[in-house]
């Protein structure tokens, strides 16, 4: 009986060893099969995209920020999405990027939405308008007060999904070849100023010109234009506008918080996984904050260099001129509101947000900064 039990145990142990060995082989086979099958699937999920921009190559803040967004997308998707980035003119002209992306000949653009006001006046309100929103106010309107929904509807007509992707903060009024002391001094000036700001200036007798950033210096230097707006000290120093004009005016009524953006081809975006769609939005959100921080950090030092090293004369826009700006801006808003149903809804939403956010900022940020600077002598 004892021997029979031993034989029975040997038989069971042998069967168990065979089962385990077989299971191991099967498991290994499945793993190999899974690896074999999954490797091509992962490779197939990788995609390349073409990104075009409106900015001159290597322009600090704008071009470098757009390029940084492209690099971040590749990094946070572990290389699943590789974006080939092109500055203005490298693949298409600065003002052609919107149409190229809408048609699908490129997948993403980075630029300023007021360049597209020829398509719909409402686009200007998703970049910056005279007497408009500051950086923090813009973020609040877009994210929590209906701005993104209106923007999606507007851009969606052109097969584009828009995202905030940068901001310059309050800009300078611009560079002038002669002093501007009254509204009358604006009449007859030839000035490069796009978007709704250009509409406002036209009301004041300015001859408005719209050229890409890379062409401004040449036109200002040759006298083809008498004045230009661009961004602020850090950017403007890089483009050497101080060589052609010495009067530098502030603050810029036309762009108090210029929101920059990416526009993504909707068809291409929808072909990506939900995860990668979210990662693209996340990369844009990160750049929106980083670019603003960088401009704030760099503008002050650049302004010192312009004044101390290049003989730039800093001038404050007079109250008389600002009052004239305000009147003209109100007229332009009314015209844009009446331009279409979309224009009406966008302008009304924008004005509602401006009133509510402005009232809060008056007793929050503005009141605090005024008191802090008074006490500290800043």
| Domain span including residue 78 | 46-167+258-294
Residue linked to tokens 């299971």: 23
Give a yes or no: residue 163 inside a domain. Answer: yes
Residues 167, 232 contacting (CB under 8 angstroms) = no
The torsion angles phi and psi of 52, rounded to 5 degrees, stand at -115, 155
- Residue 331's nearest CA partner among 193, 186, 206, 202 is 202
Does residue 70 lie within any of the structural domains?
yes
**pLDDT the model gives residue 371:** 97
What pLDDT is recorded for position 38?
40
Is residue 121 within 8 Å of residue 336, measured between CB atoms?
yes
Asked, for residue 272, whether it belongs to a domain, the answer is yes
Give the total number of structural domains in the chain.
1
Give CA–CA dist 197/332, Å, rounded. 9
Q: Which CATH number characterizes residue 57's domain?
A: 3.40.190.170
pLDDT recorded at residue 45: 80
Spell 139-159 as b/e; 16+ CB within 10 A means b. bbbbeebbbbebbeebbeebb
**Cβ atoms of residues 101 and 265 within 8 Å:** yes
Distance, in Å, from the CA atom of 190 to the CA atom of 148, rounded to the nearest integer, reads 35
* Class of residue 202 by CB neighbours under 10 A (exposed 0-12, middle 13-18, buried 19+): middle
pTM of the model: 0.86
Instruction: Using 70 as the pLDDT threshold, list the residues of the chain that sit under it.
Output: 1-44
pLDDT value of position 30: 36
Nearest CA-CA partner of 57 in 85, 97, 87, 89: 87
For residue 276, being part of any structural domain is answered with yes
**Per-residue model confidence (pLDDT) at position 37:** 39
Taking Cα atoms as reference points, which of 286, 306, 170 lies closest to residue 234? Answer: 306
**Within a domain: 366:** no
Burial of residue 368, with CB atoms counted within 10 A of its CB: 0-12 exposed, 13-18 middle, 19 or more buried: exposed
The per-residue pLDDT for 14 is 47
| pLDDT tens figures, 222-268 | 999 999 999 999 999 999 999 999 999 999 999 999 999 999 999 99
Any domain includes 141: yes
Task: Confirm whether 73 is domain-assigned.
Answer: yes
138 located within any domain = yes
């Amino acid at each position: 009986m004892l021997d029979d039990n031993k034989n029975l145990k040997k038989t069971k142990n042998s069967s168990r060893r065979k089962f385990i060995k077989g299971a191991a082989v099967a498991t290994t086979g499945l793993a190999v099969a899974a690896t074999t099958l999954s490797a091509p699937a992962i490779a197939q999920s990788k995609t390349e995209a073409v990104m075009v921009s409106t900015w001159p190559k290597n322009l600090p803040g704008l071009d470098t920020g757009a390029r940084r967004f492209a690099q971040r997308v590749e990094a946070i998707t572990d290389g699943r999405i590789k974006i080939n980035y092109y500055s203005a003119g490298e693949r298409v002209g600065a003002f052609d990027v919107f149409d190229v992306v809408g048609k699908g000949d490129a997948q993403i653009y980075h630029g300023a939405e007021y360049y597209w006001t020829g398509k719909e006046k409402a686009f200007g309100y998703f970049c910056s308008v005279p007497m408009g929103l500051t950086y923090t106010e813009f973020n609040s309107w877009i994210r929590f007060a209906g701005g993104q929904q209106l923007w999606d509807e507007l851009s969606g007509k052109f097969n584009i999904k828009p995202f905030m992707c940068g901001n310059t903060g309050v800009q300078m009024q611009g560079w002038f070849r002669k002093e501007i002391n009254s509204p009358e001094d604006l009449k007859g000036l030839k000035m490069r100023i796009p978007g709704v700001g250009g509409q406002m200036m036209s009301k004041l007798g300015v001859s408005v010109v719209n050229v890409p950033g890379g062409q401004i210096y040449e036109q200002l230097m040759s006298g083809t234009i008498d004045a230009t707006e661009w961004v602020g000290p850090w950017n403007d120093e890089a483009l050497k506008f101080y060589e052609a004009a010495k009067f530098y005016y502030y603050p810029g009524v036309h762009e108090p918080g210029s929101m920059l953006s990416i526009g993504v081809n909707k068809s291409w975006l929808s072909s990506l996984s939900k995860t990668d769609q979210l990662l693209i939005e996340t990369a844009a959100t990160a750049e929106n904050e980083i670019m603003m921080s960088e401009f704030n950090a760099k503008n002050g030092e650049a302004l010192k260099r312009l004044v101390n090293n290049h003989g730039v004369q800093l001038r404050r826009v007079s109250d008389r001129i600002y009052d004239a700006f305000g009147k003209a801006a109100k007229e332009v808003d009314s015209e844009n509101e009446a331009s279409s149903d979309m224009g009406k809804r966008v302008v009304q939403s924008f004005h509602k947000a401006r009133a509510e956010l402005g009232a809060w900022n008056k007793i929050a940020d503005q009141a605090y900064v005024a008191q802090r600077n008074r006490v500290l002598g800043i």
